[in-house]
Homo-oligomer: A and B are copies of this chain.
Amino acid sequence: MTESTKAIVAKIEAQLIADRRDFHRYAESGWEEFRTASLVARRLSDLGYQVLAGRQVIRDEDRMGLPPAEVLEASWQRAVAQGGDREYLDLLRGGFTGVVGILDHGTGPTVGVRCDMDSLAMAESQSEAHRPVQEGFVSVNENAAHTCGHDAHTALGLGLARVLMTLKSSIQGRVKLIFQPAEEGVRGAKSMVSAGVLDDVDYLLGLHVFTGWTLGEIHPGMGGFAATEKFDVLFTGVPAHAGGNPQEGQNALLAAAVAVLNLYAISRHGDGATRVNVGQMQAGISRNVIPPHAQLVAETRGANSELSRYMHDQAVRVLEAAAEMYGCDLEIRPMGGAPSAESDDQLAGRVARVAGEMGGFRILEPTESGGSEDLAYMMQRVQERGGQATSIGLGADLYGISQDARVGRDAVLNAHTPEFDIDERALGVAVELLTRVVLDIVGV
């Protein structure tokens, strides 16, 4: 059977690359993946999967960091214009851009595979040295670029769907292919979890391609994802002429400045690492007017969910007091968040074993990621129910960086730079590996 898997995958390799490039070209950022998701749904349906989409798999109230309604509508119209599937687009309208495909065959456990579809909200490199420019698949959408590899994840998810359907007869159980929106900013997973999408999943797999590791390098069970809360803060005060009657103002910029300083001064915690950052601030209207509003873009993190909660609670206390100190109204808007998560050793070990059987891999020692992952919400739900989950990291560095050159590289920042690109051979490798792992679990 393993022979045939490799052969089957080989046949779809061109399709994988074409798909990835198509999604890359029509990059759509979080909650705006209308074209991408509609095409995913159409394809899954055509392959014979049971397809759930839109509000069937997204709980409205738990969507975090949602763009304004008019932005969502403009992006939806763009998706219509760029060849999205009209039937599914109607289901997704308004920012319900999740899709689930189910393959049900015989009695057995349920395996979920998470693929994320959103791009970053940034401009892609227009340099002639950038392969997507050279080969014509650079993003055509403003402020949207696949600089984190989710185009690859979407493409390989469709490839996996096709291969598994081919091998359907070998399966005893269920496969759930979960295409999620808004992974960036850890905004989307929560709404799929609360919609119940993970409630019947016994084994959950997530795979992320990484630059910084070359093809064949693999992490079977990444972990140490920090728990995090993302939030925007709005202080609203009262304007006044700064020369004539400054005392009539309520200075929102000053409130925000006090808040910023004291956020960073939140006490370190004896139980482990914590973080806080105010990444952006915008305040005021004119040089000679007491600033009537100030906006902060902030986040807190903790090595585990309890530490994250500690940081968030402290942050709220600081923000409330700062607002009160300067007579301002305060609004704290949740914009994203994720719990901490660890891969299950047992499932990670299974992935490692299957990779060993498949050959061509070098298993790296898992290191602390430092960052956060929206997948953590899904892992948490599966693990709560007694299931197992793992997050697989797969090397896809385009330029064959040597072991030595890698020292000091910061893969995470790399991933969000305008020049990001991947080794597309990783697509086939990923599809074969995931197929083998799925069959290792639900194969007959």
Residue of B nearest to A272 (CB): B273
Chain A count of residues within 8 A CB distance of the other chain: 69
A285 CB-CB contact with B under 8 Å: yes
A241 CB-CB contact with B under 8 Å: yes
Residue of B nearest to A289 (CB): B279
**Known contacts A289-B279, A291-B278, A298-B287; A261/B254 CB under 8 A:** yes
- Picked from B241, B267, B299, B325, the residue with its CB within 8 Å of the CB of A262 is B325
Q: In the assembly, how many copies of this chain are there?
A: 4
Q: Which of A283-341 contact B (CB under 8 A)?
A: 283-291, 294, 297-299, 301, 310, 317-318, 320-322, 324-325, 327, 335
Residues of chain B lying within 8 A (CB to CB) of residue A275: 242-243, 246, 268
A116 to B194, CA, bound (A): 59
Contact B301–A243 (Cβ < 8 Å): yes
Render A259-279 as a binary contact track against B, CB cut-off 8 A, 1 for contact: 011101101111101110111
A257 to B185, CA, bound (A): 25
A228 to B310, CA, bound (A): 25
Write the nearest CB–CB distance from A421 to chain B, whole angstroms: 20
Write the nearest CB–CB distance from A335 to chain B, whole angstroms: 8
A370 CB-CB contact with B under 8 Å: yes
A68 CB-CB contact with B under 8 Å: no
A363 CB-CB contact with B under 8 Å: no
A71 CB-CB contact with B under 8 Å: no
**Known contacts A260-B253, A324-B317; A288/B281 CB under 8 A:** no
Contact B291–A286 (Cβ < 8 Å): no
Write the nearest CB–CB distance from A372 to chain B, whole angstroms: 7
A230 to B288, CA, bound (A): 9
**Known contacts A297-B287, A370-B241; A277/B246 CB under 8 A:** yes
Contact A269–B253 (Cβ < 8 Å): no
Contact A318–B310 (Cβ < 8 Å): no
A371 CB-CB contact with B under 8 Å: yes
Contact B273–A284 (Cβ < 8 Å): no
Write the nearest CB–CB distance from A227 to chain B, whole angstroms: 11
Contact B279–A282 (Cβ < 8 Å): no
Contact B413–A241 (Cβ < 8 Å): yes
Residues of chain B lying within 8 A (CB to CB) of residue A310: 247
Which of A247, A274, A294, A413 has the most C-beta atoms of chain B within 10 angstroms of its own C-beta? A247
Contact A258–B249 (Cβ < 8 Å): no
A258 to B327, CA, bound (A): 16
Residue of B nearest to A281 (CB): B283
The 16 listed contacts between A and B (C-beta, < 8 Å) are A230-B287, A243-B277, A253-B278, A253-B281, A254-B260, A257-B258, A264-B267, A267-B290, A268-B273, A279-B285, A280-B291, A282-B283, A286-B416, A321-B321, A321-B324, A322-B325
